[in-house]
Structure 1
Amino acid sequence: MELRHLRYFLAVAEELNFTRAAARLGIGQPPLSQQIKDLEQELGTALFRRTPHGAELTAAGVAFLPEARLVLGSAARARALAQRAGRGESGQLRIGFSGSAAFNPLVSTVIRNFRRAYPDVQLTLIEMNTTGLLEMLAQQTLDVGFVRPGPNAPTGMDLQPMADEAMKIVLPNSHRFASRRHLSLAELAGEPFVLFPRGVGLSLHDEIVDACRRAGFELIVSQEVPQISSVVNLVAAEFGVSVVPASISQFHMAGVCYLDIDDAQPPVARMALATRPGQDAPSAHNFLALAAKVPSANLPE
């Protein structure tokens, strides 16, 4: 028994006329009659009785009709579900982001836009440092990740760059430069820095260290923190100064101030969407396409 047999049966059952049913199906009446005969032979019982004006259902046909409708309806639903999944309109998408990227408004904008465009896709959000995110992508336990790639792209990954984000100096309010609106990094030579380990934020760590070297000094790390969100807390506690992505400055904390960096080549916080090569999940492709349309105008300066 094939689905076409059920479709032919349903057409005749609803039209109660082989000629009208054949016209509805777009086939000739003799082939339709033969298909119904084949179905009746397979079932071992007649489904229709011929009448002077067409046909009528037998008791077997009456019993068969709701089940045929149910099977055809299930097949139609299965087809629709498969097509929606093939277009990335349903299913699951696993999205990762680094701790510093979580503060970037582009991240929330892309995720919000995706949820609005594809409400039936279930999102799983995972926060982890860039190194961990890249490992998860390689292990196929993550579909797409907002990472901090640094100047050199990680090997074995496809990257879709997003807008670079400016960085700011963060000082305790008690600092002698706290009243300034901007500052060159060179003026921080000899200051103790609060910084996260290179393994936690490899690209941001290297960007800050390299920027200080361009300014003519090696920074002194007085305190390491496990994650970037802890940097501002320790600066407020006067453990030292630091440099953070500008988006973090939108969260005002008592005891700190943020200054623009007045250098010819200031550090930047790079961000990109990473996927593993050969990523074929339609929902991931939809996510990347939406991300490419998000303007960078709402990035803090």
Structure 2
Amino acid sequence: MELRHLRYFVVVAEEEHITRAAERLGMQQPPLSQRIRALERELDVQLFRRKARGVELTGAGRVFLENARATLAQYDRTLESTQRAARGEQGRLCIGVLPTAPFHPFVPSVIRTFRANFPLVSLTLDECLRVEAIEGLRSERMDIAFLRSHLSGSQDLVANPLLEEPMVVALPKGHALARRRGEALPLKDLADETFIVYARQLGPAFYEMTMAACLQAGFSPHLGQEAPRITSALSLVAAGLGISIVPASMQRMAMDGIVYRGLKGTPQLKAALSLASRRGDPSVVVRNFLNLVKQAARTFRAGQGKAT
């Protein structure tokens, strides 16, 4: 018995007429009649009672019809699900997200767009720092991760650069430098300040960038308390324990006791945003996400260019 034979039977049962069923199926009436009789012989039951003007189901035929429809529906669902998976329209995707990434409007925007375009893909967001993201990708616990730095010397991972944004300084609200409203500060003006650093071990990109820029500006920064996350660092700034250099998009996080000021001069501190994945990952879901994000980044950059 083949699936097409079940379809033949269902159409005959619905039409209650062999000739009309044959026309609907696009075949001749004699082969269809032969197939129905062969099906009855195979099952060793009578499925139809022949009448002068058609056929009608027997009791056994009604039971067989119910199960035939269920079998065909299950097959169609299985086929459709398999094809969706092959197109990357169904499956799972775990995205590593650094604590600073969601504050950039680009990141939540592309995740919403992906969910709208691929609603059957199950998305999981995993907040992590850089080292944790890299370990998650290599262990296949994560499929893809937004990073705040580029990868170098990695054979198994690849990072696609997406965007850059300026870094700003977060100051306690009562700080003397905070009174310079609307004025960008030269980095050298921060030489006497206490720097609150964050994620120094697990996400060292911002720390290393800040240290290098300060040295280039002519001073070695005085380090204060170290925070595990950027949000913790901002809490320390709000408490008046120092200042911190953060991506400009963090200004979207309204926190009492903090003001932000831009930085000017040389060197210009820039926070990178990239998307990392396993090199050669065969997942179509991952490929779809990568393609969507890279296209969205090009559009975002073009929009920024027009705005300036």
* Fold agreement, TM-score > 0.5: yes
Task: Report 1:187-226 matches (<5 A).
Answer: 187-226=189-228
The answer on whether the counterparts of 2:199 and 2:230 sit within 8 Å (CA) in structure 1 is no
User: What's the secondary structure of 2:65's corresponding residue?
Assistant: helix
Post-superposition Cα deviations, 1:221-278, rounded to whole Å, max 9, x if no partner, equal 1221111111122122222222100011222333322111112331111111112123
Partner of 1:233 in structure 2?
235
CA contact (8 A) 1:158 1:275 kept: yes
* Structure with greater helix share of residues: 2
2:285 pairs with one of 271, 283, 286: 283
The 1:152–1:169 alpha-carbon spacing in structure 2 relative to 1, beyond 3 Å, is farther
Note the 1:14-25 alignment, pairs <5 A.
14-25=14-25
Contact 1:40-1:46 within 8 A present in 2 as well: yes
Partner of 2:276: 274
CA contact (8 A) 2:185 2:264 kept: yes
Q: CA deviation at 1:153?
A: 6.8
Aligned residue in 1 for 2:46: 46
- What is the CA-CA distance between 1:280 and the residue it aligns to? 3.2
Please tell me whether the aligned partners of residues 95 and 124 of structure 1 are also in contact (alpha carbons under 8 angstroms). Answer: yes
Q: Distance in 2 between matches of 1:27 and 1:287?
A: 45
Instruction: Tell me the amino acid that sits aligned with residue 22 of structure 2.
Output: A
Tell me the secondary structure at the aligned position of residue 177 of structure 1. helix
Distance 1:80 1:274 in 2: 31
Query: Aligned runs of 1:1-301 on 2, under 5 Å?
Result: 1-150=1-150, 152=152, 154-180=154-180, 181-294=183-296, 295-296=300-301, 297=303
SS in 2 for 1:271: strand
Deviations 1:105-144 (A, max 9, x none): 2111112222333333332111010111111111111122
Structure 1 unaligned blocks of 5 or more: none
8 Å CA contact 2:150, 2:274 repeated in 1? no
Aligned residue identity for 1:253: M
Q: CA RMSD in A?
A: 2.5
Q: Is the 8 A contact 2:129 2:199 kept in 1?
A: no
Task: Provide TM-score, normalisation by structure 1.
Answer: 0.89
For 1:213 and 1:25, locate their aligned partners in 2 and report how far apart those are by CA, in whole Å.
80
Residue type of the partner of 2:189?
Answer: E
Number of residue pairs matched by the alignment: 301
Amino acid at match of 1:237: A
Q: Matched residues, percent identical?
A: 42
User: Residue type matched to 1:66 in 2?
Assistant: E
Contact 1:225 1:231 in 2 (8 A): yes
Query: Which TM-score applies when normalising by structure 2?
Result: 0.87
Offset at residue 71 of structure 1 (A): 1.4
Farther-moved stretch of structure 1 (136-145 vs 283-292):
283-292
Cα offsets for 1:157-184 (capped at 9, x unmatched): 1323221121101222343322222111
Q: Which amino acid aligns with 2:81?
A: L
Which of 56-65 and 104-113 deviates more? 56-65
- Offset at residue 54 of structure 1 (A): 3.5
